[in-house]
Amino acid sequence: MSEAVGTVHHGVHVFPVRVYYEDTDAAGVVYYANYLKFAERARTDLLRVLGIEQSYLAGEAGLVFVVRRCAADFLRPARLDDGLEIHTGVTDVKGASVDVSQSVRRNGDELVRMEVRIACMKRADPGRPARIPQGIRAAFEAWRDAS
Amino acid sequence: MSEAVGTVHHGVHVFPVRVYYEDTDAAGVVYYANYLKFAERARTDLLRVLGIEQSYLAGEAGLVFVVRRCAADFLRPARLDDGLEIHTGVTDVKGASVDVSQSVRRNGDELVRMEVRIACMKRADPGRPARIPQGIRAAFEAWRDAS
Amino acid sequence: MSEAVGTVHHGVHVFPVRVYYEDTDAAGVVYYANYLKFAERARTDLLRVLGIEQSYLAGEAGLVFVVRRCAADFLRPARLDDGLEIHTGVTDVKGASVDVSQSVRRNGDELVRMEVRIACMKRADPGRPARIPQGIRAAFEAWRDAS
Amino acid sequence: MSEAVGTVHHGVHVFPVRVYYEDTDAAGVVYYANYLKFAERARTDLLRVLGIEQSYLAGEAGLVFVVRRCAADFLRPARLDDGLEIHTGVTDVKGASVDVSQSVRRNGDELVRMEVRIACMKRADPGRPARIPQGIRAAFEAWRDAS
């Protein structure tokens, strides 16, 4: 089991991201799709905090978490060398999906706000929902209640 | 001026995208953030159809089009070697922004549906809106009326 | 079977690539690792010209082509909106690997020169070489002889 | 000035990288071009250890470090969730370029070996070499001597 790097404050998971050349584009700012990569790193780390390793989940249980919906507001641009924080909270837990709210921040300023719905699916049949295993669902619910 | 590769049918811009290894992930499907790359390629090509080259716009007029908001529904996964089509229509034109509706399709099936708001900004001061030049705005409006 | 988009001139496969925002970085040029993406798209298309679809190869024969070695000289930078050509020739064919020479060009100028060794491996056991199926090897040899 | 995250052991800079979904491809392993991203993150962090921030360098001195040559041997594949280390040593320092040797490791095993030549260039005129500022050159030489 890999070690999580994010920290938790009052039910909010805080994950650090550094901006490298690979993340920026010719407009001099972070390319818009790359914030979704940052957000996915943070969610993976949050799963790790909850004791869930995705490579184990895919192999043993044959389950993958897949983004079903994502809405992002790009408020201010991030730039090369910026040190960002991704804040993630759980807002809703259903039988086969979890809603999270994510925020990309720099020195307290919100740069990007994202609402993401993650669905649990069978690895062998992506596109078809699967119930979230009970232990994992309970972990998400406890997280949501702490938010 | 580069040549556009997309085609236009009844006010809808249709842009072909092939799925390569770089676009996929270990779940065997296209990584979710990469659909936003496909969509941006299609929008760039649409600008070209309208006679607008972004590198010229950035250099001469000092203007950049920036994604201000993006909402995406991921309905079905795309896979390695898939031949996709990105369908783009203009839904609304304002003084400093344009709304487009985009759809990622494979053999007629909709895989991803996206609503995107693009804002015009001064390159030297990203984050602050700028009015879309009149000629470009007229081109978007004509496009919207054809959709 | 998907359609190849590259063309062939005297044993050299020529594949067009357009530079989008996603490919550039804050230095205003194409990010160095992204030329390797362009090169891989061209190699995939070359396989298609030879009648080989990688998704079929992975599924049916359980084989993947993996880059074993890559040396790249970055001579001149490519920029946003550039229309590039990737030229690919086969230089050597062995039992379990193929050497190709690739060149990224813009209006005849060479921007990046790459020498790439591709190894055939069993999908279930990447890292361990597998013999290239006879038909595919013959296609590579015919290509090499035409170069 | 941002904080470096890598550590230094006997003139070798060791930088941690976690493998996320974005880094992998449909073959279930890290996509080959992405190791170059990992290597660039490590080099940026090494510059930070030496007291050099690239965004400052580009803005104040108008200089950028650009990869001029890169040779990579891909020995073993990395996979989702792997915790990797990028080891970087300076092997040669010239007036306008620096050679570094980089190694991607997992639990002591070498997965990728890279030799990289980085050239100093004027931001306004990429493609044309510029002398490395004396203070920075001295820092690289001290590093090389410690390796």
Interval C107-126 mean pLDDT = 92
Q: Which residues of C touch D42 (CB under 8 A)?
A: none
Residue pLDDT, tens place only, C38-97: 999 999 999 998 888 777 787 778 888 999 999 999 999 999 999 999 999 999 999 999
User: For residue A14, is it left (φ>0), alpha (ψ between -120 and 50) or beta?
Assistant: beta
Please give the interface size between A and D, counted as residue pairs whose CB atoms are below 8 Å apart. Answer: 46
**D140 part of a folded domain:** yes
Q: CB–CB of A91/A100 below 8 Å? A: yes
DSSP one-letter code for D125: S
Chains with ≥3 CB–CB distances under 8 Å to C: A, B, D
Residue A122: which CATH number? 3.10.129.10
Judged against a pLDDT cut of 60, whether residue D1 lies above it is answered with no
Contact A111, A75 (CB under 8 A): yes
> What average pLDDT does chain C have?
91
Q: Are the C-beta atoms of residues B21 and C126 closer than 8 Å to each other?
A: no
User: For residues A62 and D22, which has the higher predicted lDDT (pLDDT)?
Assistant: D22
Candidates D115, D120, D113, D110; CA nearest to D100 is D115
Q: Is residue A3 part of a domain?
A: no
* pLDDT, tens digit, 9 for 90 and up, residues D82-129: 999 999 999 999 999 999 999 999 999 999 999 999 999 988 776 678
The H-or-E segment that residue B99 falls in is: strand B97-106
Strand partners, D100: D90, D116
- Chain A CB contacts of C33 under 8 Å are 22
User: Could you give the count of Cα atoms lying within 13 Å of B110 in the half-sphere of its Cβ?
Assistant: 12
Largest separation between any pair of C-alpha atoms in chain D: 46
Instruction: Give me the domain span that covers residue A108.
Output: 8-146
Q: Is D43 within a domain? A: yes
Let me know if residue B3 belongs to a domain: no
Q: What are phi and psi of B117, to 5 degrees?
A: -105, 125
**B66-95 tens-digit pLDDT:** 999 999 999 999 999 999 999 999 999 999
| CB count in 10 Å sphere of residue A57 | 18
Q: Within a 10 A sphere around the Cβ of B135, how many other Cβ atoms?
A: 10
Q: Give dist(CA A35, CA B27) in Å, integer.
A: 20
Tokens 């070695």 sit on residue: C69
List, for residues B45-65, the tens digit of each pLDDT value. 999 988 887 777 777 788 889
User: DSSP assignment, residue D38?
Assistant: H
Closest CA to D84 of D27, D23, D138, D142: D23
Whether C23 sits among the annotated catalytic residues: the reply is: no
Q: How far is D84 from chain A (nearest CA, A)?
A: 11
Confidence of residue B110 (pLDDT cuts 50, 70, 90): very high
Give the pLDDT band (50/70/90) at residue C125.
confident
Name the minimum distance, in Å, from the CA of A21 to any CA of chain C.
6
Please give, one letter per residue, the 3-state secondary structure of chain C: CCCCCCEEECCEEEEEEECCHHHECCCCCECCCHHHHHHHHHHHHHHHHCCCCHHHHHHHHCEEEEEEEEEEEECCCCCCCCEEEEEEEEEEECCCEEEEEEEEEECCEEEEEEEEEEEEEECCCCCCECCCCHHHHHHHHHHHHHC
Chain A residues at the D interface, defined by Cβ less than 8 Å, are 2-3, 5, 18, 20-22, 37, 40-41, 44, 53-55, 58, 79-81, 83
Nearest Cβ partner of C20 from B41, B79, B81? B41
Query: Between C147 and A140, whose confidence is greater?
Result: A140
In whole angstroms, give the CA distance from residue B48 to residue B33: 24
Parts of chain A with a pLDDT under 70: 1-2, 126-127
**Would the pLDDT of C126 be above 80?**
no
A136 near A144, Cβ under 8 Å? no
Query: pTM for the complete prediction?
Result: 0.95
Number of domains in chain D: 1
For residue B24, which residues of chain D lie inside 8 Å, CB to CB?
Answer: 25-26
Is A29 part of a structural domain of the chain? yes
DSSP H helices, D3-105, are: 34-49, 54-56
Tell me, yes or no, whether A120 lies in a domain. Answer: yes
> Would the CB atoms of B27 and A73 count as touching at under 8 Å?
no
Residue D30 lies in a domain: yes
Amino acid B2: pLDDT: 66
Whether D3 is covered by a domain: the verdict is: no
CA–CA min distance B12, chain C (Å) = 21
Under the banding of pLDDT at 50, 70 and 90, the label for residue B29 is very high
CA nearest neighbour of A89 among A142, A10, A140, A13: A13
The answer to whether A62 touches B67, Cβ cutoff 8 Å, is: no
